[in-house]
Structure 1
Amino acid sequence: MTLAFTFPGQGSQFVGMGRELAESFSSARAVFEEVDDSLSQNLSKMMWDGPIEELTLTSNTQPALMACGIAAMRSLKAEFGVDITEAKYVAGHSLGEYTALCAAGSLSLSDTAKLLRIRGDAMQAAVPVGAGAMAALLGASVEDAEAAAKAGQTKGICQIANDNAVGQIVLSGEKDAVQAACDAAKEMGVKKAMMLNVSAPFHCDMMAPAAKAMKEALADTVFEAPLLPVINNVQASPVTDPEKLRDDLVAQVTGRVRWRESVQWMHANEIETLAEPGCGKVLTVMLRRIVKGMKGVTLNTAEGLEAFATELKG
């Protein structure tokens, strides 16, 4: 099995996330405890007991999802002898890129938790509530989405934020501009264009204040060379240089998440299986829309981790 580990972004969180791993494995519990200590917050209690309104705040969601991904990876190694280097690549969707970098040894767990808290706070504070918006275009090509965004730009900032999968593209920007882009997409015959219920317009130029905050935070953070190449959101191709990885995390805040291209690159370079550790199955479901026949595996239960390790070892 030629393998890559891929880590999800916002949207995969739910009350109870990570609880089974913590109850099953001491290695997972240790991850949640270290994240709690790093943030001086009982984040794990919020993850397991809610309330969902607090868990879905960006500043909580981001470190929570990262903690679940790292808990799964450390449990794989401690309990079943599966190391990150069994894979050829790692990748992560938006905040998931931080999880990938932590899993690959570029960032310490404590630093990753603190960076994601800063990132969540900065992204939320970058734009006044109600000023920005995001919208999903379903059934649209990249060319359709670019044309719709261009139409929206007559009203203000409007950009492709996420190129998630074939026919699944997300726009981000000023509210009136994104609405105008949706109207244009419908006129062009795009299957569905719908505004999303989000707290801020991520991955567009409105996030420039957050990018500045992350540049300052990342400048003070120790980056090591990853144990294996990272297919990052900005390049959609392998990156191993620590300084390039650092710079691209800043660019990622306002830039497009090139997830479809990242998966297609891995498929073209002989990756057969994408494993999604931590929480949910968003990336595994997206995979079906990107590459036919490529295998996706979710790793978020004790049973799932054991079955994966057994298959991997033949």
Structure 2
Amino acid sequence: MTRAFIFPGQGSQAVGMGQELAKSHSVAREVFQEVDDALGQNLSRLMFEGPIEELTLTENAQPALMAASLAVVRVLEKDGNMDFAKTARFVAGHSLGEYSALTAAGALDLADAARLLKARGLAMQEAVPVGIGAMAALLGLDIGPVEELVAEAQAKSVDGGICVVANDNADGQVVLSGHKEAVEAAIEVAKEKGVKKAMLLPVSAPFHCPLMQPAADVMAEKLTEVVIAPPRVPLVANVTASEVSDPDSIRRLLVEQVTGRVRWRECVLYMGEQGVTELVELGTGKILTGMVRRINREMTGSAVQGSQDIEAFLASL
């Protein structure tokens, strides 16, 4: 069996994330303390106790999700004696999950990753005034028809508003992003074409579209300030849906990722083409695990987030 480790993105956060692991494993507590120290913020208390409204703020959710994922990784490695490079063929993460993946693979320092994600969250939040942008989920249409309807909606637009595919998550699950009016126009076209469900998402900014360029500029600067080492196993990058290990290329792709499409479906397909048969989601939630079978029926997916999950996974090796 050939495995890859995958790491969740925003939307997986929940009050109580990582708390059970912190109570039962000192190495997990050390991860949360290191992130708290790096940020000068008691992020772990917010993760454990909430409120959810504050935890969901982009600037908090991004480093929190990374911290929860890395706590699982450190427990597997240090308490479970798992050899990371021998266990995983690749790492991949959904949006901010790429930072978790790179930190797990040794390309980024934990404290650097926490500070980068805090900056990334703030920059993405501030890139577009509230109410200007929007995101929408389209369910029941694959990427080809969605790209056609986006082009049709753009052609009808009188103000030239931006609307692009932000996330190609799985077959029948695509997310749009851009100016609110343009995204709403695309929703109307989608309904005319009989899409199963088309709805605006409750997000505060239009992620992964050209409107995020100010945030990409911030990250371009921030990423020059940190060391990126060759990862222990290759990263399958969101932007290219192919593997990368060169530090300079990783740095460039992390900048491009802010405005670029998350090609998650293609990432999963690529890993399958390279012989991966199991994707193991490390961290909070099971969102990515739920997508695996929809993308590639030959693959299995599992989620590892608590002590029992960790024991079961280690026993399977």
Q: Please, what TM-score do these two structures have when normalized by structure 2? A: 0.97
The match for 1:72 is 72
Shift of 1:100: 0.4
What amino acid sits opposite 1:27 in the alignment?
V
Contact 1:151 1:180 in 2 (8 A): no
Q: Deviations over 1:235-277 (max 9, x none)?
A: 1011010000000000000000000000011111111110001
Q: Which of 224, 227, 236 matches 1:231?
A: 236
Q: Which of 237, 248, 252 matches 1:243?
A: 248
Shift of 1:152: 3.2
Shift of 1:288: 2.0
What amino acid sits opposite 1:136 in the alignment?
A
SS in 1 for 2:124: helix
Shift of 1:133: 0.3
SS in 1 for 2:272: helix
Shift of 1:192: 1.5
Residue segments in structure 2 that go unaligned for 5+ positions in a row: none
Shift of 1:185: 1.1
The match for 2:181 is 176
Contact 1:93 1:233 in 2 (8 A): yes
Shift of 1:44: 0.2
Shift of 1:29: 0.6
2:94 and 2:190 mapped to 1: Cα distance? 25
Shift of 1:24: 1.1
The match for 2:14 is 14
Q: Deviations over 1:93-149 (max 9, x none)?
A: 000000000001110000000000000000000000011000011111211111222
SS in 1 for 2:309: helix
2:102 and 2:272 mapped to 1: Cα distance? 21
The match for 1:138 is 139
Q: Does 1:104 align with 2:105?
A: yes
Q: Which of 271, 279, 284 matches 2:276?
A: 271
Q: Does 1:161 align with 2:166?
A: yes
Matched residue pairs, number? 312
2:81 and 2:237 mapped to 1: Cα distance? 26
Contact 1:144 1:185 in 2 (8 A): no
Shift of 1:293: 3.6
SS in 2 for 1:88: strand
> Which residues of 2 match residues 7-156 of structure 1 at below 5 A?
7-85=7-85, 86-153=87-154, 154=157, 155=159, 156=161
Q: Deviations over 1:12-67 (max 9, x none)?
A: 00000000111111111100000000000000000000111100000000000000
The match for 1:254 is 259
1:288 and 1:273 mapped to 2: Cα distance? 10
SS in 1 for 2:271: helix
1:108 and 1:297 mapped to 2: Cα distance? 26
What amino acid sits opposite 2:79 in the alignment?
E
Q: Deviations over 1:203-238 (max 9, x none)?
A: 000000000000000011111011110001011011
2:118 and 2:138 mapped to 1: Cα distance? 29
2:84 and 2:222 mapped to 1: Cα distance? 26
Shift of 1:160: 0.2
Shift of 1:78: 1.0
1:149 and 1:219 mapped to 2: Cα distance? 35
Contact 1:141 1:167 in 2 (8 A): yes
What amino acid sits opposite 1:3 in the alignment?
R
Identity across aligned pairs (percent)? 58
Shift of 1:297: 1.1
Contact 1:152 1:179 in 2 (8 A): no
2:110 and 2:152 mapped to 1: Cα distance? 42
Residue segments in structure 1 that go unaligned for 5+ positions in a row: none
Q: Deviations over 1:142-168 (max 9, x none)?
A: 111112222332250000000000010
